[in-house]
Structure 1
């Protein structure tokens, strides 16, 4: 059986919150799924309205998203996270924030792609059947 192809366009958002909204509408028909990385990860496991048996996520204009979800947006994300994280995690988040501000380390784009790939054929949860295509 061929998996459904769901397309998101990198021109349609310029922030992590925008990604959550575009992804939610494309995959679930709604943005009501929690809008955070944990909820995003949960949706990829299925059972939240995502297609049974997985899907192909075709991310067009991914190069634009790579830039928009780059170090600047990652730093903004980490600044918010620093205000709410557990005290034992503050030092780690602060170090990640300093690296992002210096244009170093993983970006949100990298993190999102890694989460998607974890749910695909070569990932830790291949049974979810999610395939990422960057275009």
Structure 2
């Protein structure tokens, strides 16, 4: 990892390395959890590991990721959770799916960006 302008570490998420959520989690695990014996596998898990991150993040090929993690994959993500049922809150997920279908809901890409931006110690640059 190289130092950014403000002497903080700079981490690069490379959108060219993945095209789905599992691939994103793999990329994140490689970047932030090399020495750990578990990998990120959920949105909550991703949020949790960012509490220990003191690095600015550049998301390279973010337009590709925005497309890859967009409407279609998000719809499939919610439909899978509804199909699985418990332990997921199916009513809440149906509402999120409905919002997505109505053009009001967030895509997975937007959710991931929101998670990163919710951490004040991290500056996100979409490249």
Q: TM-score, normalised by structure 1?
A: 0.78
RMSD: 2.2
CA change 1:67–1:24 in 2 (3 A) is: same
Q: TM-score, normalised by structure 2?
A: 0.82
Name structure 1 gaps, 5 residues minimum: 121-128
Q: Is the 8 A contact 2:97 2:105 kept in 1?
A: no
Shift of 1:3: 1.2
In the TM superposition, structure 1's runs of 4+ consecutive aligned residues that sit over 3 Å from their partners are: 84-87, 98-104
CA change 1:7–1:31 in 2 (3 A) is: farther
2 CA distance for matches of 1:5 and 1:65? Answer: 19
Name structure 2 gaps, 5 residues minimum: 1-5
Equivalent residue for 1:36? 42
Equivalent residue for 1:92? 92
1 CA distance for matches of 2:81 and 2:7? Answer: 39
